[in-house]
Amino acid sequence: MKRSSVTTATFALAATLAGCTLTPLYQQPSIDTPVAFKEGQGAWVKAMPADTLERGPWWKLFNDADLTQLAAQVDVNNQNIALAVARYEQARALVAQQRAGLFPVVNLDFNASRSGSRSQTVATGTGAGTVTTGGAHNSFSLAIGGSWEPDVWGRLRAGVAQASFSEQASAADLQAAKLSAQSELATDYFNIRQLDVARAIQAETITGYERSLKITQNRYNAAIAAKTDVLQAQTQLLNAKADQLGLEQQRAQLEHAIAVLVGKAPANFSLPERPVWNGTVPDVPISVPSTLLQRRPDIAGAERRVAAANEQIGIARAGYFPSLNLSADAGLGAASIGDLFKASALTWTVGAAVAQTIFNGGLTAAQVESARAGVDAAAAQYRQAVLTAFQDVEDRLVASRILQDQLVLRREAAQAATLVEQQVLNRYQAGQVSYTDVVTAQVTAATARNAVAQAMSDREVAAVGLITALGGGWKGL
């Protein structure tokens, strides 16, 4: 058979086998999903990645202008998000790199050179002589060549698919980074608002303690009360002022954390205080759609990594089979530019090369087993991500329900404690009770008022946690 016939047959065989694949058919790992929420109503459906669904600005559900403004800055300036964006762009570029391997590589070379010899005068035994060493000549060449590795066993296509799945996982990681930063911002924001209210309550408490100290001092000066009453009042007032400083420290630290989240130095950021604050807590629907769980980016990313690991099996299996490389070259060579493009100057070659590993000590088999184990590991991580999501939603649902009931009880307790505080103070002024009773009543009332502020903040934070557990919100689906 002539060489051209062999080459033609090789090309035909490569084209025929190019549709082969050694990658197992991908199946999403099975999950034992519950029929309904334990802590709520509604039914689950089979979890599927749907991280590309639009989540919308979920923080607007809280109707807080300051939070909305800060959340917008997080998307633009947060450096963790910027890092996730860069990694996603790297993943996209890697897909393009892998896809380039499916196409031939073509090279073009042009060379021009000039060479020759020269005359030289030399001394000999009989006198001087001239030796001519030759003349100069030009050389020009133009060559074009190409090589192509047909994807006979699907190894290159598996690499492209693996990179594509990894890109999708990186996109999910980007969404997860955004959701995490937004959630952290909202949590810190509501905690700082709780501290604003707590500081206002503490300021009122200090004012009350100062009034009590004045009363005890007057009673002591009138020889009605003992010196211990004054000392107790002073101790209570000083401790309250120290607690106020502790609240100031906590607020400053949260303000610094928010500054970093929005991409600013703490020295260049401040959040005005709001001592009077009544937050809006979004109501959780009685029946939360199960599709919301599908929108968690961590689940989507974990599932895409299983698919990427599955492609690695096909890449490893390709090591059992020979690789084929096709090449073709054509060149022109002449002593002058004018003669370079004459037909007589043309030379060409066409070739095919087949390479097969005969023995590698079981390396290929080990690579295949490693790839299979990688799929199992990725599948386990995916299932764990789903189970964690189930737990998160259940935890947030029960927290939202109980905290709502707790807030009602906390408010009633604060009202009762405040009445007791006033009555006991009046009775002390009338000489009916000891100052120890006053201290106890005041501490109880202050604790109850702070518990109301904390319960309000806890409800806000629980709502943020529920939205995060659901993948970024439940409205607008």
Give the lowest-confidence range in 29-33, 127-131, 464-468: 127-131
Q: CB 303: neighbour CB atoms within 10 A?
A: 26
Q: How far, in Å, CA of 433 to CA of 439, rounded?
A: 11
Task: Please report the pLDDT score of residue 34 as a whole number.
Answer: 73
| Residue with the larger pLDDT of the pair 465 and 476 | 465
What SS3 state is found at 134? coil
Query: Residue 291: how many CB atoms within 10 A of its CB?
Result: 17
- Given a cut of 90, whether residue 238 has pLDDT beyond it is yes
Confidence label for 3 from pLDDT (cuts 50, 70 and 90): very low
Residue 217 belongs to some domain of the structure: yes
pLDDT band at residue 258, thresholds of 50, 70 and 90?
A: very high
Higher-pLDDT residue of 20 and 446 is 446
pLDDT band at 477 (very low <50, low <70, confident <90, very high): very low
User: How much is the mean pLDDT over the chain?
Assistant: 83
pLDDT at 264 > cutoff 70: yes
423 pLDDT more than 90? yes
Q: Which two tokens stand for residue 278?
A: 């009544």
Residue 67 lies in a domain: yes
Is 22 domain-assigned? no
Is pLDDT at 335 greater than 70 in this prediction?
A: no
Q: How many CA within 13 A on the CB side of residue 363?
A: 7
Q: How many domains does one find in the chain?
A: 1
Residue 379 belongs to domain with CATH number: 1.20.1600.10
Residue 184 predicted with pLDDT over 90: yes
Q: Give a yes or no: residue 11 inside a domain.
A: no
User: What confidence score (pLDDT) does residue 191 get?
Assistant: 94
Please check the confidence at residue 250 and state whether its pLDDT lies above 90: yes
Residue 243, pLDDT > 90, answer yes
More confident residue, 411 or 340: 411
With a cut of 70, say whether residue 51 has pLDDT above it: no
Report if residue 276 sits inside a domain.
Answer: yes
**What's the whole-number mean pLDDT along residues 30-56?**
61
The answer to the question of residue 113 being in a domain is no
Residue 317 lies in a domain: no
Q: Cβ contacts of residue 299 below 8 Å, gap of 6+? A: 47, 49, 51, 293, 382, 385, 386, 389
Q: Which of 29-33, 190-194, 467-471 has the lowest mean pLDDT?
A: 29-33
User: Phi then psi for 328, rounded to 5 degrees?
Assistant: -150, 140
Residue 134 confidence (pLDDT): 55
Q: pLDDT digit string (tens) for 372-410?
A: 999 999 999 999 998 898 888 889 888 888 998 999 999
Give the pLDDT confidence score for residue 319 in this predicted structure: 87
The two three-digit tokens of residue 172, written as one number: 């999910």
Q: What residues make up the domain containing 264?
A: 31-103+172-295+363-469
124 within domain boundaries: no
